[in-house]
Structure 1
Amino acid sequence: MTDLMTNWWVWLAFALLLVILEVLIPGWIFLGFAIGAAITGLLLLGPLQLLSTPMLLLAFAALSLASWLVLRRVFSLRTGQVKTFDHDIND
């Protein structure tokens, strides 16, 4: 299993699976994990080739958290704004 986790294509396949899951169950959390997995997979092509499995998992966790925070910052409501609905969609 540890040999499988050090392959770049496994991380990119995992990212694709998480993107599909995000489409089926929207909520921004899976997209953050997908971005983290994709960046980890791309980094395995270059500088992270020789890292051990625990260090890869730590890099994945840190990249996922950072990408989720960026997504939250970019797509959230501005401070002080509240989403209100004045009419019903069925009216």
Structure 2
Amino acid sequence: MKKISASLTFLTTEEGGRVAPARDGVRSQILIGDIMTSCVVRGQADGGVFIPGRQYIVELELLFSDLYAIELDSLKTVELYEGSKLVAKGARL
């Protein structure tokens, strides 16, 4: 399982983000090129909760990174989804 660092901001409800804030350890889908795959978000959340609109430095544990190694090397922009809904965005560090 590969881990990458990213600077992420979880979207507010007004921006189309989650109704309830995400928690440390949340599973989301990450967009790598035109491929969606699963990841676990780990970071220093406020009391275990990622407050929408705040920027966090997180570690993303990619569950199937061996399948997308080439695409992952060129990843610069990070977008996290829950289903088809964009819930967080940022940049790879």
User: Which structure exhibits the higher relative contact order, with contacts defined as CA atoms closer than 8 Å and separated by 6 or more residues?
Assistant: 2
Q: Which has the higher helix share?
A: 1
Same-fold status (TM-score > 0.5) = no
* TM-score (structure 1 length as normaliser): 0.30
* TM-score (structure 2 length as normaliser): 0.30
